[in-house]
């Protein structure tokens, strides 16, 4: 199912190029928006019992971003939209170290594992230079900091986004099955 979620997020990005151009050029995180777009997309594909920010812990302190039933399976998703700090034309510079973004993804992985939920971690790493692979260092770091993530449980896709000044960047969609 994590490969299907990856495909759905890629389709959302492709269908919303203007919004993605704004987000990429300003390094603006879009997790909240994506959560609702993914919920709508899942419903359009037949998902049932869609829940926004469902509890994943008994005390209610930990929540997922989205959960739904699909083909008889309960799907729980934690979303992130970590922005990079690569310098590139057409993109505002930001000073937040990407290390903090990577740690927040690892923390979400740990939360899902600690509550025995399983589920899917989905994140969109952005902006990335077209056809550059430096971003894989961050994926390797996430995998090494999170025990027992096998390569077959990771799916990633590159998504082209054209900025308003005709510069091009990419958004990397990664889904990890827990």
Digit-coded pLDDT (tens) for 105-142: 999 999 888 878 789 999 999 999 998 898 999 999 99
* pLDDT (0 to 100) of residue 60: 66
Whether the pLDDT of residue 159 is over 80: the answer is: yes
Count of domains forming the chain = 1
pTM for this predicted structure: 0.94
Count the alpha carbons within 13 Å of 58 in the hemisphere toward its beta carbon: 3
Closest CA to 34 of 91, 77, 88, 69: 77
Find the domain containing 52 and state its range: 2-177
**Cβ partners under 8 Å of residue 93, min gap 6:** 85, 87
Digit-coded pLDDT (tens) for 66-108: 999 999 999 999 999 999 988 888 898 876 678 889 999 999 9
What are the CA-CA distances from residue 68 to residues 45, 48, 72 (Å)? 11, 6, 10
- The whole-angstrom separation of Cα 80 and Cα 21 is 18
**Cβ partners under 8 Å of residue 57, min gap 6:** 115
What single DSSP character describes residue 82?
P
Digit-coded pLDDT (tens) for 15-26: 999 999 999 999
């Amino acid at each position: 199912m994590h490969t299907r979620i990856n495909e759905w997020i890629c389709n959302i990005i492709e269908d919303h190029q203007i919004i993605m151009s704004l987000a990429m050029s300003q390094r603006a995180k879009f997790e909240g928006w994506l959560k609702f777009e993914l919920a709508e997309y899942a419903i359009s594909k037949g998902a049932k019992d869609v829940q926004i920010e469902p509890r994943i812990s008994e005390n209610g302190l930990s929540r997922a971003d989205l959960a739904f039933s699909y083909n008889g399976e309960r799907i729980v998703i934690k979303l992130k939209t970590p922005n990079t700090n690569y310098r590139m034309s057409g993109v505002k510079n930001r000073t937040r170290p990407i290390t903090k973004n990577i740690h927040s993804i690892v923390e979400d992985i740990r939360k899902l594992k600690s509550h025995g939920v399983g589920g899917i971690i989905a994140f969109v790493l952005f902006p990335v230079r077209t056809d550059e692979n430096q971003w894989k260092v961050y994926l390797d770091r996430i995998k090494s900091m999170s025990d027992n993530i096998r390569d077959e449980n990771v799916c990633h896709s590159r998504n082209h986004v054209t900025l308003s000044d005709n510069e091009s960047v990419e958004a990397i969609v990664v889904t990890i099955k827990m």
